[in-house]
Chain A
Amino acid sequence: MKKIFSRPKSLKDAPFHYCPGCGHSIAHRLICEVIDELDIRGIAIGVPPAGCAVLAYNYLDIDMIESPHGRGPAMATGIKRMLPDRVVFSYQGDGDLAAIGIAESFHAANRGENITVIFINNAVYGMTGGQLAPTTTMGQRTTTSPLGRTRELEGYPVQVCELLSGLRGTTYIERCAVNTPANIMKTRRAIKKAFEYQMDNKGFTLVEILSPCPTNWKMSSVEACKWISDVMTKEFPLGVMKDIPSAQEKKAVAAHD
């Protein structure tokens, strides 16, 4: 018998502090698997957010530096400009990226900084107790929208991928989920692609990951995964929003033929 699956080497041997069924730990593992596969453990630098994943440096066995709330892309910009041969990624939640840090994220994307942003979208503020986030879906009940999100009071959810793909600076933007094994494998491919583009100096890459938060959605883990497929993907459709290098490649192949 051959071992075909075990803990990735760059994931520390520490038990996760996340709640049962949390998508953060799946995302951590996928990043570690990609780092092992591309063999970039020595040159990868991560920037964890404020939020549930604030302790990500306890799990990822790579260089990590904590950023002020929402300022991950700004810090990653600085690191990448000083050390252009490193693979720099910022790991952010929806409160971190889409609320307090929207300015930094927007302008880093607009400048086309050669960094990768891993954006975990779980539709609530997880760490502070499930308040309404910019990405909360219409009608969703949270502790600060007990009757459900409405257009009059809270407005519409922010679709970060669609927003940033309108900017000319961005290179690759994809929305994935971690609710089924098939979607998890797709997410892994997306993260790998984003890191490869960064290593080829292609520009700003962002992978949005729809992630279950069973505790704050007040569901079981299995129901939370189902809720992503049934409700959340209607508001946030999965798929590649923008992929300039592959589009250019296809164009070149078509022209060659």
Chain B
Amino acid sequence: MTAEVLKVAIQRDADRVDTFDVPAYENQTVLDVVSWVQQNADPTLSYRFACRVGMCGSCAMMVNGVPRWTCRTHISKVLDGNAVTIGPLRNLPVIKDLAVDMDPFFDKWIAAEGVHHGALTRDDEIAPIDETSATRVEANAGIECINCSVCYAACDTVAGNVDYLGPAALQRAWTLLNDAKDEGRTAILDAVSGKGGCHNCHSMGSCTAYCPNDLDPMSAIAGLKRETAKNFFKRGH
């Protein structure tokens, strides 16, 4: 990196952008740049982070218009000359500056039945599971989602339809559908075939393209579409 000073434009609300001069360092993430502004230049700047290492999914923001984990994005990757623009994550209500309310994202996660439905209890032995079975491989594919909302922010269908459950919630539903331990098949298929369900997806693929964890929500949603269609015919509607 050759720049000594970075020109950092931060969106404060719908019609206000503040620009800050931030010293450049060799090892510097977008989160470090945002933190520098709050700690040194403007103590009123609001943002959110927690783990610093890409495990908690708290710090995602729009960086030059693209949703990213800011803690794991080296500034050199996103600089345009010496400039960068940072805004709050798309498709979620802004609390203040760069901090958004993630509740709608989690409400949809639960609405998609994204929670274990089991019959066994703590008094039962743990069931043996073949990790190489096709369904377990499919379930494992989405299990490392950290619910950071990057896919939700990237999705144009979410932007156009407030009811749409979104890629992360639907991927969770698909994971559970393939989980041998989960007994919520009917509830899950009902939840994902409703008004905000998987059939809203136009397979534009932004979710898969932008997932920082290299997960593939688009294929998970395609799986749901097949299963709900099968279910529809089986039920003889």
Partners in one complex: no
**Interface of B toward A, CB cutoff 8 Å:** none
**Interface of A toward B, CB cutoff 8 Å:** none
